[in-house]
Structure 1
Amino acid sequence: MEQEYKYEVGVKLIEKTLPESDKVRKVWELLTTDVEVQAYLKMSNVFAVQRLRYNDHGPIHSRIVAGSALAIYKILTEKGFKPSVVADGVGDWEDSIIVTLMGAYLHDIGNSVHRTHHPIYSAMLTDRIAEKILSKIYGISEKAYMLKQEVMHAVFCHDEAYNCLTFEAACAKIADGTDMSSGRARYPYRAGKNDIHALSALSIERVELSPNGAKPLTINVYMSNETGIFQIDTVLGQKIATSGLAPYVEVRAYVKGKLFAVRSFETTHVIRQS
């Protein structure tokens, strides 16, 4: 019987999706209390929001994406998808969740250096941060270094210019695209930015993740007007198309509660499921 549940993307989602695992919860605690991590996230917003008038790329965005990534992970694994970390013998299910969580939370820290080439800077900064955090869980071990590389891959591949090669990276990447409701756009809009990016984002009222649809993952986007479709096609859609999971994802857009559009996104790359 199909499970009747859905997850609303937002700051509280991580509280629902963080598993009852001491190891995973310790990683979450380390991420959210680490001075270096939090400084880089704050500086990401100094560059992105204050200097470039982009939307939120800081601590709140990272928290939202982490919660969304774990929700996507849960929905798809309950549908039978096997994480790459497990399938390829790199680690177990807990390790896989940790990779997803860290990749989602750290993906944008490179904005603290520059928006241009930020996926590269994000991966570079993640190198030391992931080693520091993972060593507190796994010690100085081969597994810690192997998982660090998985996290760096997830961080690097969050940008639509790069294809994800792992399930964990794909969950983090799609999750990044789901943080597109009006709250994320309020800062640049208040600063005077009123282009199609800001206006379309302001029209999005909420985003929900659901297993109850024609495809394994359904993303429901509720909008106040039709301009929000721009966000779906140019932001979320590109993330899905390069995630490696595009054939399994459907986006349903609603305007004032009525179905407005259904989107699926083509891809040339699909992550192996075996």
Structure 2
Amino acid sequence: MYSPADDHAFPDERVNDVLERIHQDTEIQTYLEAQNVNPVDRMRYNDHGAKHIEIVQHRALCLYDLLKSAGVEFNGARQQGLDEADEPVIIALAATLHDIGHVIHRDDHAYYSLPLAADILDRLLDEFYDLSDAIRIKGEVLHAILCHHSSETPLTTEAGVIRVADALDMERGRSRVPYEDGGRGINTISSRAIDTVSLRPGEERSVLVEIRMTNAAGVYQVDNLLKRKLKNSRLEDHIRIVAINAREDEDRLVERIEL
């Protein structure tokens, strides 16, 4: 979990101020509740609301911190002439707003998120930045929001972090692969097979993502969700994924798989 009070491998004062402002913003918090109605209540899919956003925020900032600790370079803010301190701001805002398009429809929600997020960013960024920097940060946030959808290719490392962090919300049935509540298809079964997801410094690569499964069905989830999101994320060379079947009371066909 990301904690503002901890020491980090990046300047964190600015992003911590932005996070505090996000948590106090009534419009944003209302969106995070309302965006769950279409996928959950009307389509009987899994959670895409406030809890999902909280998890993605934490995963994204923790992943960013590990990558920065390993010396991975980020190009989004830098190429816009912004400060290093703006990198986590871009990540935090994109993590917060990437799914608000669900209030319109789940299908193509990444595209619907863009105009809604743009309006919020116009208001919010004015409190922290002058017009020039606000426009540049807005563009980077919208790019990251768009590219969390696997059909679009991230052009910045910041956007890649959002893409991967979105997929890391997969513990105990929280997969980003949609499934119908109560269903028994492979998406449902494999999603519920994921027990825990942890991030830590890697040895061969910058970050190790360790996924503990309750049975081998979880491999489908890892392969069809996380591996797909990691592809073309700009982070393939920096993240190692290990999935472990932790169940002891079965004839384990799969004990460990590395991606």
**TM-score normalised by L of structure 2:** 0.89
Give the Å deviation of 1:86: 4.3
Name the Cα RMSD after superposition.
2.1
Partners of 1:69 and 1:100 within 8 A in 2 = yes
Partners of 2:80 and 2:136 within 8 A in 1 = no
Partners of 1:246 and 1:54 lie apart in 2 by: 29
Cross-structure match for 1:15: 3
Cross-structure match for 1:202: 192
Q: Which amino acid aligns with 1:260?
A: R
Q: Which amino acid aligns with 1:262?
A: E
Q: Is 1:33 paired with 2:21? A: no
Give the Å deviation of 1:168: 0.7
| Number of equivalent positions | 248
Partners of 2:205 and 2:167 lie apart in 1 by: 18
Cross-structure match for 1:234: 224
List alignment gaps of at least 5 residues for structure 2: 248-253
Q: Which amino acid aligns with 1:134?
A: L
Partners of 1:104 and 1:173 within 8 A in 2 = no
Partners of 2:46 and 2:181 within 8 A in 1 = no
Give the Å deviation of 1:81: 1.2
Cross-structure match for 1:267: none
Q: Which moved more, 1:194-203 or 1:250-259?
A: 250-259
Give the Å deviation of 1:32: 2.1
Q: Which amino acid aligns with 2:141?
A: V
Q: Which moved more, 1:88-97 or 1:108-117?
A: 88-97
Q: CA 1:18/1:137 → structure 2, altered by over 3 Å: closer, same or farther? A: farther
Q: CA 1:173/1:189 → structure 2, altered by over 3 Å: closer, same or farther? A: closer
Give the Å deviation of 1:89: 4.2
Secondary structure in structure 2 of the residue aligned to 1:226:
coil
Secondary structure in structure 1 of the residue aligned to 2:36:
helix
Partners of 1:88 and 1:224 lie apart in 2 by: 43
Q: Which amino acid aligns with 2:96?
A: Y
Q: Which amino acid aligns with 1:182?
A: R
Secondary structure in structure 2 of the residue aligned to 1:214:
coil
| Identical-pair percentage | 32
Secondary structure in structure 2 of the residue aligned to 1:165:
coil
Give the Å deviation of 1:18: 8.8
Cross-structure match for 1:93: 84
Partners of 2:78 and 2:84 within 8 A in 1 = no
Give the Å deviation of 1:248: 2.1
Cross-structure match for 2:93: 102
2:164 to 163, 174, 190: 174
Q: Aligned runs of 1:12-161 on 2, under 5 Å?
A: 13-15=1-3, 21-139=12-130, 141-161=131-151
Give the Å deviation of 1:148: 0.5
Give the Å deviation of 1:217: 1.8
Structure number with higher relative contact order (C-alpha < 8 Å, ≥ 6 residues apart): 1
Q: Which moved more, 1:188-197 or 1:145-154?
A: 188-197
Give the Å deviation of 1:256: 0.9
Give the Å deviation of 1:190: 9.3
Partners of 1:68 and 1:178 within 8 A in 2 = yes
Q: Which amino acid aligns with 2:129?
A: Y
Partners of 1:74 and 1:122 lie apart in 2 by: 26
Give the Å deviation of 1:21: 3.6
Q: Which amino acid aligns with 2:205?
A: K
Give the Å deviation of 1:107: 0.9
Cross-structure match for 1:269: none
Partners of 1:191 and 1:99 lie apart in 2 by: 33
List alignment gaps of at least 5 residues for structure 1: 1-12, 264-274
**TM-score normalised by L of structure 1:** 0.84
Cross-structure match for 2:237: 247
